[in-house]
Amino acid sequence: MRRAGVVALNTFREAVRDRVLYNLVFFALLMIAASVAVGQISIGIEQTVIVSLGLSAISVIGLLISVFLGVALVSKEMDKRTLYALLAKPVRRWEFLLGKFGGLVLTLTVNTAAMALGLLLVMLYVKHGLGGSDTVVLVGVYFILLKLALVVALALLFSCFTTPLLAILFTVGLYIVGLYVQELRNLPVQVMSPAMSAFTKWLSYLLPNFENFNVMAMAAHGRAVPGALVLQNTLYTLVYCTIVLTAAAAVFSRRNLK
Amino acid sequence: MKSEKTIAWLLLLVVPLGFEGIWLLQHRIDTQRASISEERDEVLLRSPRLVKAMGLEYAPLLADIYWTRVVQYYGNKHLRGQANLELLWPLLDITTTLDPNLVIAYRFGAMFLSPPAPGGAGRPDLAVQLIQRGIQANPDYWRLYEDLGFVYYFDLKDYQKASAAFLEGSKNPKALVWMKIMAAKVAAEGESFETSMFLWKDIYDSTADPMVKKNALTHMQLLKVKEDCKRLDALADEFEKRFGRRPARISDLAQAGLIRGIPRDPSGYAYVVGKDGKAELNLDSPLLEQQLMQERFRKAMP
Amino acid sequence: MPAPAIETENLTKEYPFGFLHLMKRTSLEGLNMQVETGEVFGFIGPNGAGKSTAIKLLMRLIFPTAGSARILGKPISDVEMHRDIGYLPEQPYFYDYLTATEVLDYFARFHDLAAADRKDRIERMLKKVGLETARKIQLRKYSKGMLQRVGLAQAILHDPKVVILDEPMSGLDPVGRREVRDIILQLKKDGKTVMFSTHILSDAEMLCDRVGVIVGGKLRGVGAPGTLVDMKTLGMEILFELTGASNAPLVAKATRTGDRYRLQVAEEELYAAIEQLRGAGARILSVSQVKATLEEFFMNLVEADRAQGAAVEVSEQ
C-alpha cells in the first residue's frame, strides 16, 4: 500500500509537470466571461446559468482529463518502457496499478477543488453573497469527482488489454451508454419480447449508471440533495471502482510487456 | 504465478459480490432520486436559440434528437395516461427552431398539442401557433393547411377559420381537390359526420406512424358509434311515436321492422339501450373505455 | 553447496503471431543454466537471439510458456526477493519529467530506505556513474549514454546481491564503456553476482568468469571464455615498418595500415620470415601469437544456425 502511495505521488507530480493543471486557466477565463455575460443577458436566472455552466465545465474538463490521462496512465509507461525498471523493484503490479489510479484521482481532486473554488467565487460575485442552499453546488462537484474516479477506473481497465485509441473509444462509449441506462429501463415494454425486456433491465442495473451523479438541475435551482443519496453514490463508486480495478489488476498482472 | 492466481481468485469473489452490491445500491439510488424529483423530465436548455447556437452545424441533427425526445415524451406520458404534457411545447419549440424544415414536427406536434387530454396537451392555441410557424417556413407544403383546418375544426370549433385554412391550402397546385370541397362544406355546415369522418380518414391514410394511425382509427370508430347511436335514437323516437313507449332493447326496433338485425359497433359488439332510453355501447365493447375517456376529459375542460 | 544465484529450468517463451495467433514463434527454447554466487556471467549472442527474452523472463516483465526460474533460491514470483536484485533494462528510459536525483529517489523509496540514507546513496551513485554535474537536469535533455548511466545507478542503488544488466555497454562512448567495466569489476570485488548480456564479445572476454552463448533461442555453450574455444595458436603476426622502398615478396603479402605493415605467418616459418624482412630493410616492431577467439566460435555458431534456418525454410516449401 505504501508503495502504491509512492507511485501515486509520482503520478501526481507527472501531471503537474506536464502542465495538466493549465486547464484551470481556461476554466477561469470561461467563468470570468460567463459572469460578465450573465449579468447582461439573463436577468433573474443568473444563479441557474452560472451554476449549470460552471458544473458543466467542471464535468467536461474533468472527463477529458480522466479519459485521456486515464488511458495513458499505464499504456504510456509500457510504451516508453519506463515500467521496466520499476517492476524490477519490490513492487507488485497491482500496487503499481492502484498507485497510478490514486495519482490521477488525486490530480483530479486538486483540479476539481480549484475549479469549485472558482465557481464559488463567481457565484459570490454574481449574487453578492452565498447562502446555505449553495452547499448543493459542492455536492454537485463531489458527485462529478465520484463520476471521474469511475471513468478513470474504466479507462485504466480498458488500457490494460487494448490499444490506447480503442481504450479511449470504449471508455467514452461506456460513459455515454452509462448516461442513458435509465432510458433503457424506461423503454416502452410492449415493443420488446419479455426476454429482451428482462435483459435490458438486468443490463441497466449492472452497467455503470452515470446519471446517478447528475444533480446539475437541482444544484442550478438550489434544491437540497438528501444525505442518503450522497452516501449511496459514494458507496456505489467505491464498489464499482473495486470491481473494475480488481479486473484491471487481474488482466495487467498476466500481461506480457513488449 | 502466486500473486496472479490470487488476483484471479479474488476477481471471482469480487465480481459477483460487487455487482450484487451495485444492484442493491442502484435500486436505492433510484428510489432516492425519484423521491427528490417527481417530475424530473426537465428540459435543461429551454431557449431554442441557445440550443441552436450550441448545436453549431449539427443543428438539424440535434433537431432530430429533440424530435425523438418529443415522441418519447409524448409516448411515455400517453401510455401512462398522464395528462401533464407541459414540456411538450418547449420541446417542439426547440425542435422546429433547430430545423424549421422538419415538417413532421409541425404536423404531429400539432396533433399532440391540440386535442384535449388524454389525447393531447389541450392547447389548440399553441398548435395553431406551431402550424403557422411551419407554414411560414414551408409555404409550399399544403398539408400544413390541412392540419391547421383540422385544429380549427375539431378542437377550436371555429368553422370559419377552418374553412379559410382549407381554402388557403387548396390554392396550392399540389393540393388534393377535396381541400376546396372541404372549405365549402365546412363553411356551410360546420361540424358534420361526413366531414369529420373524411378528415380522420385522410389522416389515417396519409400517415405511416402506427401511433397516429391507431389514434385516427379510434376517432373514426367513435365517430361511427356516435353516428350510429344518433340514428338508433331517431329510430327509437319513431318507435315511441308508433307504440307510445321507448324501446326497452334494440331487438324491439328489429321486431318493429325499423331495422334489420341487431346493429353492431365497429369492434363487433351489439349496441344496447341505456337506462335513459338512448342507444349506447355494449358494456363489453373495448370502445366504451375510449369513449368514456374522451367524454370525461371533454367535461373537465372548460 | 549453496544454491546458485540464478538458475533456470527449461525456461521457454513462445510468442503467438499471425491470423488468430494460431502460429507460434519460439523466442527462447528450454533454457537451463546456473549462475553461481559471486561470479560475473556473460550472456552473449547476436541481436534477437533471445538474450533479452531470457532476462525479461527472469524479471517477470514477460511470463514463460513453460519452465521456471529461481533467483537466490527463491521463485521469481516472490516480489520481496526483488529487494536483493538490481536490473538495468535494455536501452533504459525513465520518466523524462524528473531529474536524475528525483528518479533515483523515486526508485529508492520502494526499498524502504530512510530519507537520509537515500540522499547519501544517491549522492554516491551519481558520482560513481559520473552524473553529478547533470543531477538537476530533467531527463528529457539527457543523451542516450547519460540515460544508460542513470539506469546503472538505479540498478545498484540499493546494494543488491544480484545485478542483471541488459546490454549495459550499448550507447556508450569508450570512456563510458570503460567506466561500466570498472563498475562491474567493483561489484565482483564486493562479492555480488553479475549477469549481463552483450553482443560485444571483447567485453565478455574481458569481464566474465563464464559466458553462455545463445543463438536462435537456444543455449549453445557455457563455460569460461578460454575453454569454449580450442586455444591453439593459429600463427604468428609480425608488425613492421619499412625504412625504404622494397619489393620483397613477403612485403607484398603484408597488409598495410598507415606506415605499418602486418604479416601473418605460420609458427614454424617465423624466423625465416623475420630474416627475409630484415634483409628487405624492415624494422620489426613486434611479434605476437594469433589465437582463435570467442568471436570465431561465435561466428561459426551463427553461420551454422543460419544454414540450418535456411534448410528449414526450404523444407517448409
C148-162, C262-276, C289-303: lowest mean pLDDT where?
A: C289-303
Greatest CA separation for chain A: 62
Q: Which range has the top average pLDDT, A31-35, C182-186, C248-252?
A: C182-186
Average pLDDT, chain C: 86
pLDDT band at B38 (very low <50, low <70, confident <90, very high): very low
One domain for residues B181 and B281 = no
| Chain C residue at shortest CA distance from A81 | C93
Cβ-based contacts of A78 with chain C (< 8 Å): none
Question: What CA–CA distance (Å, rounded) separates B39 from B23?
Answer: 24
Do B26 and A209 lie within an 8 Å CB cutoff? yes
- pLDDT of amino acid B286: 78
Choose the final residue of a domain: B150, B171, B205: B205
For residue B57, how many C-alpha atoms fall within 13 Å in the half-sphere facing its CB? 0
- pLDDT of amino acid C316: 34
pLDDT band at B40 (very low <50, low <70, confident <90, very high): very low
One domain for residues B115 and B190 = yes
Q: What percent of chain A has pLDDT over 70?
A: 94
One domain for residues B87 and B169 = yes
One domain for residues B62 and B165 = yes
Question: What CA–CA distance (Å, rounded) separates C211 from C229?
Answer: 12
Per residue in C26-62, pLDDT (tens digit) is 889 999 999 999 999 999 888 888 899 999 999 999 9
- pLDDT of amino acid C313: 38
- pLDDT of amino acid B250: 79
One domain for residues B174 and B278 = no
One domain for residues B87 and B221 = no
Cβ-based contacts of A92 with chain C (< 8 Å): 79
One domain for residues B153 and B287 = no
| Chain C residue at shortest CA distance from A16 | C97
CA torsion angle for C184, C189, C190, C192 (degrees, to 10)?
A: 60
Interface of C with A (CB under 8 A): 56, 59-63, 79-83, 85-89, 91-95, 97-98, 106-107, 109-111, 151, 154-155
Quick check: A17 pLDDT over 80? yes
Quick check: B52 pLDDT over 80? no
CB contact, 8 Å: C79 with chain B? yes
Output the nine-digit C-alpha cell for C10. Answer: 527449461
Choose the final residue of a domain: B155, B175, B205: B205
- pLDDT of amino acid C95: 92
B4 domain-assigned: no
Residues 8-67 of A with CB under 8 A from B: 52
- pLDDT of amino acid B107: 80
One domain for residues B134 and B219 = no
Distance from CA of C89 to the nearest CA of A (A): 6
Which tops the pLDDT comparison, C207 or B107? C207
pLDDT band at A92 (very low <50, low <70, confident <90, very high): very high
For residue A241, how many C-alpha atoms fall within 13 Å in the half-sphere facing its CB? 20
Domains of chain C: 6-228 (3.40.50.300), 233-291 (3.30.70.980)
Total domains present in chain B: 2
Output the nine-digit C-alpha cell for C125. Answer: 551513485
**Interface probe, candidates A38, A232, A234, A255, chain B, greatest B C-beta count within 10 A:** A232
Distance from CA of A229 to the nearest CA of B (A): 6
Cβ-based contacts of C79 with chain A (< 8 Å): 90-92
B276 domain-assigned: yes
- pLDDT of amino acid A167: 96
Quick check: B183 pLDDT over 60? yes
Output the nine-digit C-alpha cell for B157. Answer: 370549433
| Chain C residue at shortest CA distance from B3 | C77
Distance from CA of B54 to the nearest CA of C (A): 38
Q: Which range has the top average pLDDT, A140-154, B278-292, C44-58, C281-295?
A: A140-154
One domain for residues B191 and B237 = no
Average pLDDT rounded to a whole number, residues A171-188:
82
- pLDDT of amino acid B181: 73
- pLDDT of amino acid B19: 92
CB contact, 8 Å: A82 with chain B? no
Which tops the pLDDT comparison, C91 or B190? C91
B10 domain-assigned: no
Per residue in A192-202, pLDDT (tens digit) is 677 887 888 88
Quick check: A107 pLDDT over 50? yes
A34-38, A247-251, C129-133: lowest mean pLDDT where?
A: A34-38
DSSP states of C190-234 as a string?
TT-EEEEEES-HHHHHHH-SEEEEEETTEEEEEE-HHHHS---EE
| Chain B residue at shortest CA distance from A221 | B44
Per residue in B227-255, pLDDT (tens digit) is 888 888 888 888 888 888 878 777 777 78
pLDDT band at B301 (very low <50, low <70, confident <90, very high): very low
Question: What CA–CA distance (Å, rounded) separates C122 from C134?
Answer: 13
The CA angle B141-B147-B148, to the nearest 5 degrees, is: 100
> Amino acid letter at C211?
V
Cβ-based contacts of B38 with chain A (< 8 Å): none
Which tops the pLDDT comparison, C202 or C84? C84
Quick check: A109 pLDDT over 90? yes
- pLDDT of amino acid A45: 59
Cβ-based contacts of B28 with chain A (< 8 Å): 228, 232
Average pLDDT rounded to a whole number, residues B191-198:
75
Average pLDDT rounded to a whole number, residues A213-229:
82
pLDDT band at B39 (very low <50, low <70, confident <90, very high): very low
Average pLDDT, chain A: 88
B117 domain-assigned: yes
One domain for residues B86 and B61 = yes
Q: CATH number, domain at B80?
A: 1.25.40.10
Cβ-based contacts of A84 with chain C (< 8 Å): 59, 61, 87, 89, 92
Residues 167-226 of A with CB under 8 A from B: 186, 188, 205-206, 209, 212, 216-218, 223, 225-226
One domain for residues B194 and B250 = no
Quick check: A171 pLDDT over 80? yes
CB pairs under 8 A between A and B: 82
Average pLDDT rounded to a whole number, residues B257-280:
79
- pLDDT of amino acid A215: 85
Output the nine-digit C-alpha cell for B242. Answer: 308508433
Quick check: B78 pLDDT over 80? no
Nearest Cα to Cα of residue C160 among B91, B239, B271, A90: A90
- Plot region of C189 (φ>0 → left; ψ -120 to 50 → alpha; else → beta): alpha
- pLDDT of amino acid A191: 61
- pLDDT of amino acid B109: 79
Greatest CA separation for chain C: 75
**What count of other Cβ atoms lies within 10 Å of the Cβ of residue A134?**
18
Do A236 and B22 lie within an 8 Å CB cutoff? yes
Question: What CA–CA distance (Å, rounded) separates A90 from B298?
Answer: 79
- pLDDT of amino acid C311: 43
B28 domain-assigned: no
Choose the final residue of a domain: B185, B205, B225: B205
Average pLDDT, chain B: 75
Quick check: C192 pLDDT over 70? yes
pLDDT band at C278 (very low <50, low <70, confident <90, very high): confident
Helices (H) and strands (E) in chain A, counts: 10, 0
- pLDDT of amino acid C116: 94
Distance from CA of B10 to the nearest CA of A (A): 8
Quick check: B298 pLDDT over 60? no
B110 domain-assigned: yes
A122-136, B68-82, B118-132, B270-284: lowest mean pLDDT where?
A: B68-82
pLDDT band at B47 (very low <50, low <70, confident <90, very high): low
Residues 161-190 of C with CB under 8 A from B: none
Distance from CA of C219 to the nearest CA of B (A): 25
Phi and psi dihedrals of A239, rounded to 5? -65, -45
For residue B141, how many C-alpha atoms fall within 13 Å in the half-sphere facing its CB? 19
A44-48, A197-201, B191-195: lowest mean pLDDT where?
A: A44-48
Question: What CA–CA distance (Å, rounded) separates B146 from B201?
Answer: 13
Contact C241, C282 (CB under 8 A): yes
Distance of CA C202 to the CA centre of its chain: 9
The boundaries of the domain holding residue B244 are 215-300
B52 domain-assigned: yes
Query: Which residue among A10, A14, A89 sits closest to C111, beta carbon to beta carbon?
Result: A89
Which tops the pLDDT comparison, C313 or B60? B60
B92 domain-assigned: yes
- pLDDT of amino acid C230: 53
One domain for residues B201 and B287 = no
